[in-house]
Structure 1
Amino acid sequence: MENNHTIIGHKIKSIRESKNITVEEISERSGLAVEQINSIENDQNLPSLGPLIKIARALGVRLGTFMDDSDDLGPVVTRAAEREANKSISFSNGATDARKHMEYHPLAKQKAGRHMEPFVIDINPEENPEFQLSAHEGEEFIFVMEGEIELVYGKDTFHLNQGDTIYYDSIVKHHLHGAPGKSAKILAIVYIPF
């Protein structure tokens, strides 16, 4: 059964090829290494959202294009049972020893032309997280549904508990993860101007 890593890698490659753009051109436009782009296209690595956003910009498409299921222009309802049953997308945190620290459950894959990407994200606990800060255009809103998280934002670190929210400009280098040893569930809405 095909997983979402395969879907995203395949879509990136097919969009790039349909536009007659080489991997080297994407690398130049996005600032990402050719090797990283190849590993994403070949389903070897699904990085954090930052690199995917850079690839989307380099291709001239919305981030959601990589995750879209259909072209529904009307309202999209995602029932709780459907969200739990649907395949999630796993992103790495950039650490060499941890490939999956977040499970993303997209909430609007069927909505075509969207400018926001809403997710419920399950964050797995890490005792000693190693991560790389990333930045991209846009804004993010986080609501902590369960557990505790930390957001490293520039030189500051914010600790958030259940019920807390944070809204920030994602152009500032940042990284979101569970508080040390803690798991969490959050609602994240990412806005990326197109």
Structure 2
Amino acid sequence: MNIEPTFIGKKIKMLREAKNISVEDMLARTGIDAEFYKLLEEDKEIPALGDLIKIVRVLGVRLGMLMDDYQDEGPVIHKAEDVSGSSVMRSRNGVSRKITYNSLSSRKGNRHMDTFTLDVTPAIGEISLSSHEGEEFLYVLEGEAQISYGKEKYILKVGDSIYFDSIVPHHIGSASDTQSARLLAVIYMPS
């Protein structure tokens, strides 16, 4: 699969500079590793969703602001064949894992929820939990997902769902060592 560059890092840098937020302040407020953040702003690394959410909170913008190319104020229809805007995110701790993200709401302006499909490959290595403000709803479309939430682990099969407060450290992954899982995700972040 070919993955187009996301240019998320350049957008983050532009917004950070426009709001006069230093790199040091960003690092202190997000807890993100300095070397990783430098590579992120150069578009040489791709952030995990949890890191992106921490960054947008500091910047005072919606998550969609980094992902969207244009916005509609009216209803937005996302056709099944429209997979433009996909991004790949991976954990920064060296774990070999990919999440293919496809926004289902990227053109909707002034939204309060972000909706995606997530294709999660099996993780190789130790996973790390992340947290951010808000709530998440996940629904398994294909495969089996393993959701680590605090000290608990939940295995979800096709048709299963989970709704949780995302301030609790969590991780979304495939429950299989060999097969990916596909999920529908709805994320709410308070303004």
CA RMSD, Structure 1 to Structure 2 (Å) = 1.8
| SS of corresponding position for 1:12 | helix
Contact 1:94 1:130 in 2 (8 A): no
Counterpart of 2:103 in structure 1 is: 106
Please, which of 148, 171, 189 is the counterpart of residue 144 of structure 2? 148
Amino acid corresponding to residue 39 of structure 1 in structure 2: L
Deviation at 1:2, TM superposition (A): 9.3
Paired amino acid for 2:135: E
The TM-score, its normalising length taken from structure 2, stands at 0.91
Q: Partners in 2 of 1:173 and 1:53 — Cα distance?
A: 13
Which structure 2 segments of 5+ residues have no match?
A: none
Distance 1:133 1:72 in 2: 34
1: distance between equivalents of 2:92 and 2:29?
A: 21
Rate the CA distance shift 1:95–1:34 in 2: closer, same or farther, 3 A.
Answer: closer
CA contact (8 A) 2:144 2:181 kept: yes
Post-superposition Cα deviations, 1:149-192, rounded to whole Å, max 9, x if no partner, equal: 10010111000001111111101010010013131111011111
Offset of residue 29 of structure 1: 2.3
Partners of 2:115 and 2:186 within 8 A in 1: yes
Q: Assess, with a 3 A threshold, how the Cα gap between structure 1 residues 113 and 66 changes in structure 2: closer, same or farther.
A: same
TM-score (normalised: structure 1): 0.90
Secondary structure (helix, strand or coil) at the match of 1:120 reads: strand
Match of 1:166 in 2: 162
> Which sections of structure 1, spanning at least 5 residues, go unmatched?
none
**2:127 counterpart residue number:** 131
Per-residue displacement from partner, 1:120-146 (whole Å, max 9, x unpaired)?
1111234x4421100110000011001
Deviation at 1:95, TM superposition (A): 4.2
Q: Deviations over 1:23-60 (max 9, x none)?
A: 11211222323323212111121121111111111111
- Distance, in Å, in 2 between the alignment partners of 1:20 and 1:88 is 29
Paired residue type of 2:166: S
**Post-superposition shift, 1:114?**
1.2
Distance 1:31 1:93, change over 3 A: closer
Q: Could you tell me whether the CA contact under 8 Å between 1:4 and 1:87 is conserved in 2? A: no
The match for 1:185 is 182
Identity %: 44
After the TM superposition, which residues 81-100 of structure 1 pair with which residues of structure 2 at under 5 Å, given as runs? 81-83=81-83, 86-98=84-96, 100=97
Match of 2:58 in 1: 58
Question: Which amino acid in the other structure matches residue 89 of structure 2?
Answer: F
Query: Residues 64-120 of structure 1, C-alpha deviation per residue, up to 9 Å, x if partnerless?
Result: 11111213111111100113xx1411111344151x421001111111111111001
SS at match of 1:137: coil
Choose between structure 1 and 2: higher helix proportion. 1
Alignment match, 1:118:
115
Which residue in the other structure is 1:25 paired with? 25
